[in-house]
Amino acid sequence: MPLQRALAAERTSWYADLAIGGGLLALLYLLIQAATGGSHHLTAGTQIHLAYSDLPVYAGLSFLRMLTAYVLALIFSIVYGYAAAYNRRAERILLPILDILQSIPILSFLPSFVLALIALFPHGRTGVEVAAILLIFTSQAWNMTFAFYSALITIPRELREVAAMNRLSPWQRLRQLELPYATVGLVWNSMMSWAGGWFFLMESEMFTLGSRDFRLPGLGSYLQQAANAGSVGATVAGLLTLGALIVLLDQLVWRPIVAWSDKFKMEMVKGEQAPRSAVLILLRRSRLVAWLTANVFTPALERLDQALTRRTTEVATPQPAKRSNVVNRVVTIVVAALVVLALARGVSLIEQLPSHTLGLLPAAAGETALRVVIALIVTTLWTVPAGVAIGLNKPLANALQPVVQILASFPATALFPGIVVALIGGGTLAGGSRDLNLNAAAVILMLLGTQWYVLFNVIAGAMAIPDDLKEASTLFRLGRVLRWRTLILPAIFPYLVTGLITAAGGAWNATIVAEFVTVRGHTLSVLGLGSLIAQATEGGNYALLLAATASLSILVVAINRLFWRRLYHLAEFRFSLNG
C-alpha cells in the first residue's frame, strides 16, 4: 500500500499528513460531541440511563476526569519526588507522609472528604466533580511519585558531575538530565496509574453517604448501575466499551510513548529491536507535524527555557538568612501546635473505646500485616520472571501491553463475592474451615489489586537494561543463573523496590474490602485493621475508625523506616549505574 511504502521509506509524505489531519478532525468532532452530550447529562439530574447510545458520552466524560486527575498526578509526582530526593530534611517527613497517604483505605476519609468539598462548592455538581477527580488522583499519584523519586536517587554520579561542570540551572538539569533519566519508569507507571484510575472509577463516580446519593454520569457509574439493576447486556456493553477505550488509548497514546521513550535508555550502543509504533512513525513522517514543531513548539519551548532558567537562577542566589529562619520557626511552631491539638483531640476520642476493643488492635495489625506479606511474596514470585520475560522481548511486550492494561483495569472487587463463595462453598457460608478460606480469599483479592504494580515496574526495569550490557553478558557467555545474579536482578532492583512499595500500599488499601464482605445477605469478616475500619465506617463509630486508621498509619511508617527505606538506600548506593 502507498502508506506502508511511505512509512518504510523513512521520509515525509502527504499520506502521513492526511492520516494526522484526519485523526485531528475526528478527535475534534468527538470532543464537540462529548461536550454537547456531556453538558446535557450533567444538567439532567442524577439518573444514570442504561441505553447503549449513552455509552460514548459516558466514556468521554470518564476519560476527561481521568485525564484531569492524571495531569494533576504527574505534576504532583515531579514536585513531590524532586523535593524528597534533593532535601534530606524534607525527605524524612515527605516519604512517611506519602507512605501513609497511599496505604490508608479510601473509605477512611471518603465521607468527610466528599462532604467538605460539597460544602465548599454548594451549588451544582462542582463539589462532586472535584471529589471524583481527586479520588481518581489518589489512585494514580503515589506509584508515579515513588518512581520519579527512585529515578532521581539512582542517577549515575558521572552524569551529575557533567551537569555541574556545564553549570546547568535547576530547570536545565530537570529538562536535560532528570526527566529523561526517569522517563522509562514514569511511562510504565503512568500506564499503571491509568489502570488504577479505571479500577477506582466506579467508587469515584457513584457513592452514597447515608441517605444521600452522589453520582456522576460516566462509564464507572454506568457499570455500577448495570450491576445493581442485574442487566447482563448493559454490563457486557459497558465492559466492552471500557476494553475498547483501553485498547484505543494503548494504540494511539501509550504505544507511541513507549516507543519514543526507548531513546532515553542508558546505553552506549543502539539496540537491535527498538519498539515501533505506526502512530509515532506517522508523526515523524508528517510534514504538518514537522512544520508545527519548527515554527510553534520549538520557539515556545525555547522561550519557556529562557524564562525558567532566569527565574531559577535568580531564586538560587543567596538570600538573607535571618528572615528565612524567622519564617521557618514561625511555620514550625504553628504546625507543631496544630499537630499537638489534633493529637489531643484524637486521644480524647479514642479513650471512649472500651478496653477490649483497644486490645484487638495489636492482633488485628498483626493479622493484616501477615496477609500483606503473603500477598507480596506470591506477587514477587510470578511477576519478576514474567516481567523480565516481557521486558526483554520487545515483540512480546508490544503484544501483551494492551492485555496487561485490560487485566489491571478490571475491577477485582467485582470478582470477590464469587471468589468467597467458591472457596467457602455454595451450600453454606458457615463451617470449621470458613475462616481459613476467607483468609485465603482476602489474600487473593490483595493479589488481584496489587500484583500489577510490581509487574509494570519489572517490565520497565527490564526494558531499561542497556543493550551494551546485555551484549557484554552474551560475549562473556554467562549462564542463566549468573546472568540473573550479575545483570538482571541488579538492573531491575530499583524498579522492583518501587513496585513492591506501591503494591504494599495497594494491599493495605485493599484490606478494607478483603477482610469485610457481604455475600448473599451474610456479612463475613476476619480479624484485621481493614475489617475494623469497615465495621466502624458502616456503624458510624468514629472512635474505632480513628483508632484503626491511626494503627494502620503507625504500622506502615514503622515498616517503611525499618525495611523499605533500607532497600531504597541499597538501590541508591549499590545498584545504580555509577561508574
pLDDT class of 76 with cuts at 50, 70, 90: very high
**Distances in Å between the alpha carbon of 208 and those of 107, 202, 322?**
11, 12, 51
- Tell me the residue ranges of DSSP E strands in 166-262: 206-209, 212-215
- How many helices (DSSP H) and strands (DSSP E) are in the chain? 27, 4
Percent of the chain beyond pLDDT 90?
5
pLDDT class of 111 with cuts at 50, 70, 90: low
Of the candidates 254, 187, 229, 238, the residue with the CA atom closest to the CA atom of residue 62: 238
Give the range among 74-88, 114-128, 345-359 with minimum mean pLDDT: 114-128
**Distances in Å between the alpha carbon of 12 and those of 229, 257, 289?**
53, 20, 10
Residue 557 pLDDT exceeds 90: no
- The secondary element (H helix, E strand) that includes residue 192 is helix 179-199
- Specify which of 46-55, 214-223, 302-311, 483-492 reaches the highest per-range mean pLDDT: 483-492
Inter-residue long-range contacts of 240-243, CB under 8 Å, 24+ positions, other chains counted? 241/55, 241/56, 241/58, 241/59, 242/59, 242/198, 242/409, 243/406
Residue 330 pLDDT exceeds 80: no
**Count of residues making up the chain:** 579
- Specify which of 26-30, 61-65, 382-386 reaches the highest per-range mean pLDDT: 382-386
The pLDDT value recorded for residue 320 is: 45
Average pLDDT rounded to a whole number, residues 37-43: 49
Place of cell 508528517: 286
Q: Which residues lie closer than 8 Å to 189 by C-beta, 6 or more apart?
A: 143, 144, 147, 456, 457, 460, 498
Give the range among 17-21, 38-42, 188-192 with minimum mean pLDDT: 38-42
Residue 94 pLDDT exceeds 60: yes
Pairing outcome for strands 516-519 and 206-209: unpaired
Average pLDDT rounded to a whole number, residues 167-188: 87
pLDDT class of 208 with cuts at 50, 70, 90: low
Give the range among 187-196, 400-409, 562-571 with minimum mean pLDDT: 400-409
Question: What is the C-alpha R_g of the chain?
Answer: 25
At residue 208, φ and ψ (nearest 5 deg) are: -125, 145
The pLDDT value recorded for residue 273 is: 62
Residue 152 pLDDT exceeds 50: yes
CA torsion sign for 20, 22, 24, 27 is negative
The pLDDT value recorded for residue 318 is: 44
Percent of the chain beyond pLDDT 70?
76
The pLDDT value recorded for residue 460 is: 84
Q: For residues 440 and 419, what is the distance between their CA atoms, to the nearest angstrom?
A: 10
Cell output for 292: 508545527
The pLDDT value recorded for residue 14 is: 61
Please provide the average confidence, as pLDDT, over all residues in the chain.
77
Cell output for 518: 457481604
Q: For residues 326 and 321, what is the distance between their CA atoms, to the nearest angstrom?
A: 9
The pLDDT value recorded for residue 321 is: 45
**413 close to 463: Cβ distance less than 8 angstroms:** no
Average pLDDT rounded to a whole number, residues 213-233: 79
> What is the tens place of the pLDDT at every residue in 454-504?
988 898 888 888 878 888 888 888 888 888 988 888 888 988 888 888 888
pLDDT class of 7 with cuts at 50, 70, 90: very low
The pLDDT value recorded for residue 86 is: 87
DSSP code of residue 231: -
Average pLDDT rounded to a whole number, residues 1-14: 51
Residue 75 pLDDT exceeds 90: yes
272 residue type, one letter? E
Residue 200 pLDDT exceeds 80: no
Average pLDDT rounded to a whole number, residues 26-44: 58
Q: For residues 88 and 248, what is the distance between their CA atoms, to the nearest angstrom?
A: 42
Residue 239 pLDDT exceeds 70: yes
The domains located in the chain, with CATH, are 45-276+360-573 (1.10.3720.10)
The pLDDT value recorded for residue 553 is: 81
**Distances in Å between the alpha carbon of 529 and those of 350, 535, 549, 573?**
15, 10, 8, 35
Give the range among 53-67, 111-125, 178-192, 257-271 with minimum mean pLDDT: 111-125
Cell output for 129: 466533580
**196 close to 142: Cβ distance less than 8 angstroms:** no
Residue 252 pLDDT exceeds 80: yes
At residue 484, φ and ψ (nearest 5 deg) are: -65, -40
Q: DSSP letters of 94-118? A: HHHHHHHHHHS-HHHHHHHHHHHHH
Q: Is 10 left (phi over 0), alpha (psi -120 to 50) or beta?
A: left
- Specify which of 22-36, 161-175, 258-272 reaches the highest per-range mean pLDDT: 161-175
- 3-state helix/strand/coil string of 238-275: HHHHHHHHHHHHHHHHHHHHHHHHHHHCCCCCCCCCCC
Average pLDDT rounded to a whole number, residues 6-18: 56
Residue 519 pLDDT exceeds 50: yes
Q: Which residues lie closer than 8 Å to 102 by C-beta, 6 or more apart?
A: 142, 143, 502, 505, 506, 508, 509
Give the residue, 578 or 459, on which the prediction is more confident. Answer: 459
Give the range among 386-395, 493-502, 519-528, 558-567 with minimum mean pLDDT: 519-528
Count Cβ atoms within 10 A of the Cβ of residue 26 and give its class: 0-12 exposed, 13-18 middle, 19 or more buried: exposed
Grouping H, G, I as helix, E, B as strand and the rest as coil, residue 209 is strand
Of the candidates 111, 76, 214, 77, the residue with the CA atom closest to the CA atom of residue 549: 111
